[in-house]
């Protein structure tokens, strides 16, 4: 095809069919026959036979299968280019079922095809039964059996007969239908079954007439749907072709090419479709953009001709809507003609040598080619004098270049390599050859001319070194220098290619590391946001819980202030609040880092200033450690039991902002005390200079006298009176006032 829109549509249809195959599997069109001739017969009033009607039914069966396939595949999917064709199919289910009801097999009409046929065949069976009864009676008769050559029933001219010995023909009355080759046996139809045979013959004739009526009726029904049947056939053949292209694309792992009308070709990793896909070496080919003419050089068996055929075949494949065996995003130009001169066309009959045969093709191509053509030359102007052949080849290629015709040619001529180097819109290319292994790599390298490597190949194959040196001395210095330059270019290219591969590997590694870092950073950001959110939620919950506990404590103290202080209830409330605080601290506390080289206090005295590491609070030693190292530490108005391992000694101790002084062995800490008025309880001195655990007022209760507060501010101490009315300092324990 040459029309851009039609080519693109064909490519799209192939892609859509391939998509359906991948999702649903292949659609079979096997057994599809052209019904055009049968429809013509029906048009003039003819009748189809059973085989022809069954072929029509098979076409309708394929139509129904295709319709079902399209419905299953397109369910919940967007429309594609094949939906319209599938929509044009008409299964004609009533006609299909009627044909199969009447004709279950290629040579059989069903009894149920018509009531008349059913009755006729029932009569035939009855007559057959009567005939067999009469014949068996004769066979079983002792008298008749002696007249028979064999005790069997035979058919002669569609009539039942008995094999009677010739000498007893008078003993068995009936009609003689035939005799054996020797004449010793006569096949006689007994008179008792003649009428029955006549009735059977008549019934068979009626059956034949009824079958013809049935076929005529089916043909008339088929004729009514002739346009739809022909339409189904044309749509099915088109779909068959499209799905065949899709199956080929699946086999070759083909890709849909991108088309242009500017003569641009860029095949990425193209593969010749006839080579083994597991071993073929993909090639990249560019033509028609920076240059219009590509000259491919290199050694024999290096892959030059395969490269030439690949570009031609892939171009033709693309212009019939096929996917091409190449990489994704390969680009093809739409050409009006593709001309190729490939292979040895010598002919004894036409007195054509190799050169003459090629030149005949070249002359024809030069006459017909234009800007819309692709021209492919294999070994242009080979088979003649090298100097003259090279000059002719350059002249031909130059004319094609001036006319803007996309051309690709292979050659061994060094002059063409120089022509490509020195001429605009002409580029060299070569097929890589590994001299060390004496084998081609089949890689096509654009931009570098190739060496023929004749000397290296000959040496590897065992040619004497002196002959090779003699040959070297016979080539011109210019040619030798040019070949050396090509060899240096090839070595430089390999080095650059190797370094480029390493750079690409480093780039890929860097990209991978960058991607990993970005993913890690994204995860860290997500974790950070989650942790902050959870921490805020937990902090809000802790604050809410603390507020609730504080509110409850205030309410309780107000209640105690009004009703009189109950020491047991106060202690119970204090323990309850302490447990809540410890629970909250355990949730909010940051796990402490292990302290290395920390001096654990070995000997403590009552009143020593210490720091509790787990709480990050300062306090004073209230009791000495027990056997397990546990002791009580006074921190402000609170007293906690801690382990000696959780303590460090500090030089100066400041408790709630007031410096404490050590006084005697009891080391009682004194500060401003809060005075109370009214009937308040008193506490006895425990003898250790401190009040018992739990009997500590944490704050001034409601009802405390203003005088007491004033005295506290002036630095005076007030002494609470006992219930007896006496004020004894020995029975009063002064505590640090929270005020």
Confidence at residue 672, expressed as pLDDT on a 0 to 100 scale: 35
Q: What is the 3-state secondary structure (H, E, C) of 343-406?
A: CCCCECCCCECHHHHHHHHHHHHHHHCCCCEEEEECCCCCCCCHHHHHHHHHHHHHHHHHCCCE
- 657: three-class secondary structure by DSSP: coil
Check: pTM over 0.85? Answer yes or no: no
Which residues sit opposite 324 in a β-bridge?
255
State residue 669 phi and psi, 5-degree precision.
-90, 125
Positive or negative torsion for Cα 528, 530, 534, 536: positive
Task: Collect all residues with Cβ–Cβ distance below 8 Å to 383 and sequence separation of at least 6.
Answer: 353, 354, 355, 358, 389
Which of 144-148, 477-481, 484-488, 605-609 shows the highest mean pLDDT? 605-609
Q: What is the rounded average pLDDT of the residues 540-559? A: 75
Q: What is the rounded average pLDDT of the residues 310-323? A: 95
| pLDDT-derived band at 712, boundaries 50, 70, 90 | very low
Positive or negative torsion for Cα 609, 711, 554, 678: positive
Confidence at residue 561, expressed as pLDDT on a 0 to 100 scale: 62
| pLDDT-derived band at 732, boundaries 50, 70, 90 | very low
Which of 279-283, 403-407, 491-495 shows the highest mean pLDDT? 403-407
CA distance 618 to 608: 11
Confidence at residue 599, expressed as pLDDT on a 0 to 100 scale: 58
DSSP 646: G
Confidence at residue 671, expressed as pLDDT on a 0 to 100 scale: 38
Confidence at residue 716, expressed as pLDDT on a 0 to 100 scale: 39
DSSP 290: S
Checking if the pLDDT of 79 tops 90, the result is no
Q: What is the rounded average pLDDT of the residues 365-392? A: 90
Is the pLDDT higher at 446 or at 313?
313
Checking if the pLDDT of 725 tops 60, the result is no
pLDDT in tens, 9-59: 999 999 999 999 998 889 999 989 999 999 999 999 899 999 999 999 999
The Cβ of residue 455 has, within 10 Å, a number of other Cβ atoms equal to 18
Is the pLDDT higher at 149 or at 196?
196
Q: What is the rounded average pLDDT of the residues 586-605? A: 61
Checking if the pLDDT of 279 tops 90, the result is no
Checking if the pLDDT of 285 tops 70, the result is yes
| pLDDT-derived band at 567, boundaries 50, 70, 90 | low
Confidence at residue 53, expressed as pLDDT on a 0 to 100 scale: 94
| pLDDT-derived band at 589, boundaries 50, 70, 90 | low
Checking if the pLDDT of 305 tops 70, the result is yes
Which of 296-300, 360-364, 466-470 shows the highest mean pLDDT? 360-364
Question: Can you say whether residue 157 is alpha, beta or left, with left for phi > 0 and alpha for psi between -120 and 50 degrees?
Answer: left
CA distance 266 to 518: 36
| pLDDT-derived band at 497, boundaries 50, 70, 90 | confident
Q: Which two tokens stand for residue 305?
A: 């001709």
Question: β-strands 638-643, 154-156: how paired?
Answer: unpaired
Q: What is the rounded average pLDDT of the residues 524-536? A: 83
Confidence at residue 545, expressed as pLDDT on a 0 to 100 scale: 77
CA distance 462 to 446: 32
Q: What is the rounded average pLDDT of the residues 516-540? A: 84
CA distance 403 to 550: 99
pLDDT in tens, 160-179: 888 998 888 888 888 888 88
Label residues 361-392 b or e (16+ Cβ within 10 Å = b).
bbeebeeebeebbbbbbbbbbbebeeeebbeb
Question: β-strands 174-179, 185-190: how paired?
Answer: antiparallel
pLDDT in tens, 657-669: 444 444 433 333 3
Is the pLDDT higher at 648 or at 730?
648
Percentage, residues of the chain above pLDDT 70: 77
The Cβ of residue 291 has, within 10 Å, a number of other Cβ atoms equal to 21
CA distance 287 to 290: 7
Is the pLDDT higher at 88 or at 558?
88
Is the pLDDT higher at 565 or at 638?
638
Q: List strand residue ranges (DSSP E) for 41-181, in order.
A: 154-156, 159-165, 174-179
Confidence at residue 158, expressed as pLDDT on a 0 to 100 scale: 80
Checking if the pLDDT of 488 tops 90, the result is no
Q: What is the rounded average pLDDT of the residues 484-503? A: 72
Checking if the pLDDT of 699 tops 60, the result is no
Number of alpha carbons in the 13 Å side-chain half-sphere of residue 593:
4
């Amino acid at each position: 095809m040459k029309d851009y829109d039609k080519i693109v549509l064909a490519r799209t249809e192939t892609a859509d069919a391939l998509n359906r195959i991948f999702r649903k599997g292949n659609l079979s069109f096997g057994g599809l026959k052209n019904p055009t001739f049968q429809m013509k017969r029906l048009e003039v009033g003819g009748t189809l036979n059973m085989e022809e009607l069954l072929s029509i039914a098979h076409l309708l069966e394929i139509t129904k299968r295709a319709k079902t396939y399209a419905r299953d595949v397109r369910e919940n999917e967007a429309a594609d280019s094949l939906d319209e064709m599938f929509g044009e199919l008409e299964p004609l289910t009533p006609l299909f079922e009627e044909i199969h009801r009447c004709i279950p097999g290629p040579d059989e009409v069903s009894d149920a095809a018509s009531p008349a046929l059913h009755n006729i065949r029932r009569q035939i069976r009855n007559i057959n039964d009567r005939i067999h009864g009469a014949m068996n009676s004769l066979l079983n008769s002792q008298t008749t059996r002696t007249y028979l050559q064999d005790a069997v029933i035979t058919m002669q001219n569609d009539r039942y007969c008995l094999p009677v010995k010739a000498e007893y023909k008078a003993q068995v009355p009936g009609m003689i239908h035939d005799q054996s080759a020797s004449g010793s046996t006569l096949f006689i139809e007994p008179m008792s079954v003649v009428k029955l045979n006549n009735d059977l013959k008549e019934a068979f004739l009626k059956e034949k007439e009824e079958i013809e009526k049935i076929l005529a009726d089916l043909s008339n029904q088929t004729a009514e749907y002739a346009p739809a049947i022909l339409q189904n056939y044309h749509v099915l053949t088109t779909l068959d072709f499209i799905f065949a292209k899709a199956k080929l694309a699946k086999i070759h792992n083909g890709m849909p090419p991108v088309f242009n009308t500017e003569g641009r070709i860029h095949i990425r990793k193209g593969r010749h479709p006839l080579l083994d896909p597991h071993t073929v070496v993909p090639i990249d080919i560019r033509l028609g953009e920076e240059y219009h003419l590509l000259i491919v050089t290199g050694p024999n068996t290096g892959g030059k001709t395969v490269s030439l055929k690949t570009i031609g075949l892939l171009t033709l494949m693309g212009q019939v809507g096929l996917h091409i065996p190449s990489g994704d995003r390969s680009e093809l130009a739409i050409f009006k003609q593709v001309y190729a001169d490939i292979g040895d066309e010598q002919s004894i009959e036409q007195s054509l040598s190799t050169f003459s045969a090629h030149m005949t093709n070249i002359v024809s191509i030069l006459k017909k080619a234009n800007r819309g053509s692709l021209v492919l030359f294999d070994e242009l102007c080979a088979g003649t004098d090298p100097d003259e052949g090279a000059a002719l080849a350059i002249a031909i290629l130059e004319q094609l270049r001036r006319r803007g015709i996309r051309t690709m040619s292979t050659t061994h001529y060094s002059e063409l390599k120089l022509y490509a180097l020195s001429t605009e819109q002409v580029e060299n290319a070569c097929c890589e050859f590994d001299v060390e292994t004496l084998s081609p790599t089949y890689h096509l390298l654009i931009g570098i001319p190739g060496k023929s490597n004749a000397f290296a190949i000959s040496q590897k194959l065992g040619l004497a070194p002196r002959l090779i040196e003699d040959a070297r001395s016979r080539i011109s210095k210019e040619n030798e220098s040019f070949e050396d330059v090509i060899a240096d270019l090839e070595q430089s290219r390999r080095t650059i290619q190797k370094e480029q591969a390493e750079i690409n590997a480093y780039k890929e590694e860097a990209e991978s590391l960058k991607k990993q870092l970005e993913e890690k950073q994204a995860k860290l950001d997500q974790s950070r946001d989650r942790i902050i959110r959870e921490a805020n939620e937990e902090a809000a919950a802790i604050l809410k819980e603390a507020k609730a506990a504080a509110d409850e404590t205030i309410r309780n103290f107000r209640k105690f202030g009004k009703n009189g202080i109950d020491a047991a209830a106060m202690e119970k409330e204090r323990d309850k609040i302490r447990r809540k605080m410890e629970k909250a601290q355990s949730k909010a506390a940051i796990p402490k880092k292990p302290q290395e080289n920390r001096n654990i206090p070995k000997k403590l005295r009552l009143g020593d200033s210490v720091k509790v590491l787990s709480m990050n609070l300062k306090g004073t030693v209230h009791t000495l450690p027990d056997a397990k190292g546990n002791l009580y530490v006074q921190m402000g108005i609170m007293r906690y039991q801690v382990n000696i391992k959780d303590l460090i000694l500090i030089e100066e101790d400041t408790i709630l902002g007031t410096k404490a002084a050590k006084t005697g062995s009891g080391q009682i800490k004194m500060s401003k005390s809060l005075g109370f008025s009214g009937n308040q309880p008193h506490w006895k001195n425990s003898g250790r200079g401190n009040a018992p655990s739990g009997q500590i007022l944490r704050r001034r209760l409601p009802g405390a006298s203003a005088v007491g507060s004033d005295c506290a501010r002036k630095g005076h101490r007030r002494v609470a009176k006992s219930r007896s009315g006496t004020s004894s300092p020995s029975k009063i324990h002064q505590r640090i006032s929270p005020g």
